Amino acid sequence: MVPAQARRRLALAGVLLGVAALGGCAAPRPRPAPVAELPASFPPCAQCHATATAADRARKAVHPPFREDSSCVACHAPHDATRKTWLTAVGARLCTECHAGPAFRQDHGRPGGAGSRCLTCHLPHAGDRPGLVRGQPAALCGQCHLKVAAAHGGEPVEGRDCTACHSIHGGERMGLKAVVHEALGDCSSCHVKPTATAPFALDGKPPALCYGCHDGLEKAFRRKVVHPPVADGECTTCHDPHASDQARLLTAPGSETCATCHDAVQAWASRPAVHPPVARGECTACHDPHAADRPHLLARGPAELCGSCHPATRAWPQRKAVHAPVARGECAACHDPHAGGRRLLKAEVEPLCLSCHAKGKPAWRAGSHVHPVQPAGACTGCHDAHAADAPRLVTRSPETLCAGCHAKAVADRRAAGQKLHTPFEGDSCVACHAPHRGGKAGLAADGAAVCLRCHVGARKTRGAGRSVHAPFADGPCWACHDGHGAAERSLLKAPAQRLCLGCHGELSKALAAPGARVHPALEASDCLECHGGHGANEPHLLQEGPPALCARCHELAAPALVAKHGGFDVGQAACLDCHTPHVARAGLLRPVPHPAFTDGSCDACHAAATTPPRPAVQKDGGLARCADCHDFAAVARGKTVHPLVKRGECFGCHAPHVADRPKLLRAAGAALCARCHDLGASRLEASHPAGALRKGECLRCHPPHPGLKRR
């Protein structure tokens, strides 16, 4: 009787009849759908076959259906005991349900194949050799194929590896592989006689032995570049001397033959882009496998070779501008012919281009500015990498090329009502910019030079002006102007006064101080009413010298103005001697007054006013007039008298009416002394303590008029 446990297993196993499709190795034939899902509590096959199953699954080669308990039914029928080992089909028909490829369609053994037994050579579950074979090929074949020497021209082939010539699953020509060496029918073509002391020894030394039949190759291989195996006479490095499943008796498919020596072949497959012939394993599409007249065994010149698949390359040499490597036919200067980055490039676009185009060019040095094309670093955003009809390989005219990215910048400024710089408005970007030039914004020249090429008047001012605006002298015109467009006049980046006060911070503070008295011209207009923006022939960038400049707003002959000036004509006055031009106390007068000026005692120093008014005239007497208030007797007794004091020229250092500094001095510290004395002279440097002159402390040692007292 069948044990109860076994009966239960057989009953439950009935649900497995339809799950045979779960097993198999490759493309199994359709099987009926399972009757029901396998219950989770269903006992596995290994519960009974545990010992054998565990041992087999630990071996080197395991049949895929045998790896899982649920896949046993791929080959076994649990309820059908009519066949040995409960198999679902007889002989090879069971195996070919999964192994249905072309290699298995030839019957190994007698024609018909119905009775062929795969298990004669293969183990069904697991083994220690590839393909689950039962033993070494020679020993395995020898079990059936006896006395084979007669079929091999008397050669003692017993014990040899039969798979060197024969397909293990059979073939049309006595089981031989698909491609057979023509000399195979006569072993003596290459080998010594079977009776020789060393059977299978070659009857000559390669390649001379091979040239005996392949007589045309010897001459063909005498070329400039010879494949090392050919040069060494090692034909069998690539070719099987007997039979092969590959064309031309190659030892492996396509590039696999090459990969046995060229390790890089396998690495190419992992690169982002692989040349299609390489991907297909067609190395001989470009290379001659034996010998050639060109480097790298190229079958043809690079230009012709690449052009055979890339017909567009043939037209490039006829265009007006051709990239130098293209003109020389050196595609591999930029492209890796096997595998590489995008478009088979050897590196990213920018570093690849700069590897040639940065040599000796300062614009490309570290820290310089280079046009940040989009995508960043893609030189091909503007240039064609191969050929073009415009100079420098640009893809379009500069006007349309720049507008391709910057059109919105122009449109936005127009929409904002800005006045546009003429080149910018006309899309003539290259009038100011050089796309590969170093410097701010890739300008075609440094500093103001790029602007002065067109702005001739500014260039003359810069060269001949008595006073020049510092930003203009230093060159950065863009400190004040927008090079593309602006809402303000002269393309100023902001209203003139706000722009000026951005640098002149002290004046900005004075204007904002409580109770500040601001010059109406500055309050109502801007700095450019009086000052030149670039330079002028007057100090302080003044457009004209006083009083002509002041007369633009003030009627100098007006009775009220004459009365304020003691009845004197001010048409030739030095207005800035008394008045500050920006901000001050009442009347814009400078803060330190001469007492006689404060008292309104003009006649203390000047001749009386006349009618009609005339300019003020100093009374005769020179220093004597000052002596009315200042005691010069002590000065005259000194050993050394300041030359200006000695000559009575008090106003060389002092202002007669008002000043910005104590004692009515016209300048501060060493700046005043430097009007007459060359403080940089070596004799002065040598005779003064270190740093004393630079500090401007002249009065600590040199009293200008010792002993002088006010009366």
* Mean pLDDT, residues 39-66 taken together: 78
Model confidence at 627: pLDDT above 80: no
Q: Hey, is 118 helix, strand or coil?
A: helix
Q: Which position has the token pair 């910057």?
A: 406
Q: Domain check: are 11 and 126 in the same one?
A: yes
Give CA–CA dist 337/505, Å, rounded.
64
Q: CA-CA distances (angstroms) from residue 34 to 16, 22, 31, 66, 482?
A: 6, 10, 9, 19, 81
Q: Domain check: are 558 and 642 in the same one?
A: no
Question: What is the structure's pLDDT at 85?
Answer: 73
Q: How confident is the model at residue 2 (pLDDT cuts 50, 70, 90)?
A: very low
Lowest mean pLDDT among 89-103, 137-151, 368-382, 538-552: 368-382
Give CA–CA dist 603/616, Å, rounded.
10
Q: Domain check: are 689 and 711 in the same one?
A: yes
Question: What is the structure's pLDDT at 370?
Answer: 62
Q: What is the pLDDT of residues 649-704, one digit of tens each?
A: 888 899 989 999 998 999 887 888 888 888 777 777 777 877 777 777 787 788 88
Q: CA-CA distances (angstroms) from residue 193 to 38, 144, 147, 211?
A: 65, 26, 18, 20
Q: What is the DSSP letter of 94?
A: H
Is 98 a domain residue?
yes
* Mean pLDDT, residues 414-439 taken together: 83
Q: 386 near 313, Cβ under 8 Å?
A: yes
More confident call, 298 vs 34: 298
Q: What is the DSSP letter of 299?
A: S
Q: Domain check: are 4 and 124 in the same one?
A: yes
Is 378 a domain residue?
no
Q: Domain check: are 600 and 645 in the same one?
A: no
CA-wise closest residue to 273 among 174, 339, 336, 351: 339
Please say which residue of 91, 115, 135 terminates a domain. Answer: 135
Q: Domain check: are 594 and 629 in the same one?
A: no
Is 8 a domain residue?
yes
Model confidence at 614: pLDDT above 90: yes
Q: How confident is the model at residue 367 (pLDDT cuts 50, 70, 90)?
A: low
For 436, the domain range is 396-523
Lowest mean pLDDT among 441-445, 586-590, 615-619: 441-445
Is 297 a domain residue?
no
- Provide the total of helices (H) and of strands (E) in the chain, helices listed first: 29, 20
Q: Domain check: are 7 and 126 in the same one?
A: yes
Give CA–CA dist 69/57, Å, rounded.
11
Q: What is the DSSP letter of 364?
A: G
Burial profile 69-84: b = 16 or more Cβ within 10 angstroms, e = fewer: bebbbbbbbbeeeeee
* Mean pLDDT, residues 209-232 taken together: 91
Model confidence at 631: pLDDT above 80: no
Is 237 a domain residue?
no
Is 700 a domain residue?
yes
% of the chain surpassing 90 pLDDT: 31
Q: 463 near 535, Cβ under 8 Å?
A: no
Question: What is the structure's pLDDT at 43?
Answer: 56
* Mean pLDDT, residues 136-162 taken together: 85
Give CA–CA dist 219/227, Å, rounded.
14
Model confidence at 322: pLDDT above 70: yes
What residues form DSSP beta bridges with 517? 584
Give CA–CA dist 453/430, Å, rounded.
13
Q: What is the pLDDT of residues 368-386, one digit of tens each?
A: 556 666 545 678 888 999 9
Question: What is the structure's pLDDT at 113?
Answer: 47
Give CA–CA dist 392/272, Å, rounded.
30
Lowest mean pLDDT among 12-21, 196-205, 390-399: 12-21
Domain count within the chain: 4
Peptide bond into 591 cis (omega under 30): no
Model confidence at 8: pLDDT above 60: no
Is 125 a domain residue?
yes
For residue 32, the tally of other CB atoms under 10 A from its CB is 10
Q: Domain check: are 628 and 700 in the same one?
A: yes
Average pLDDT of the chain to the nearest whole number:
82
Question: What is the structure's pLDDT at 274?
Answer: 96
The number of angstroms, rounded, from the C-alpha of 541 to the middle of its chain's C-alpha atoms is: 46
Q: What is the pLDDT of residues 508-531, one digit of tens each?
A: 998 888 888 898 888 877 889 899
Please say which residue of 99, 115, 135 terminates a domain. Answer: 135
% of the chain surpassing 70 pLDDT: 86
Report the greatest alpha carbon distance in the chain. Answer: 158
Question: What is the structure's pLDDT at 12?
Answer: 31
Is 225 a domain residue?
no
Q: 214 near 248, Cβ under 8 Å?
A: no
What residues form DSSP beta bridges with 191? 202
Q: What is the DSSP letter of 223?
A: S
Please say which residue of 98, 119, 135 terminates a domain. Answer: 135
Q: Domain check: are 642 and 687 in the same one?
A: yes
Q: Domain check: are 14 and 127 in the same one?
A: yes
Q: Domain check: are 10 and 118 in the same one?
A: yes
More confident call, 5 vs 72: 72
Burial profile 466-501: b = 16 or more Cβ within 10 angstroms, e = fewer: ebbbebbeebebbebbbbbbbebeebbbeebbebbb
Give CA–CA dist 602/613, Å, rounded.
14
Q: How confident is the model at residue 487 (pLDDT cuts 50, 70, 90)?
A: very high
Q: Domain check: are 635 and 607 in the same one?
A: no
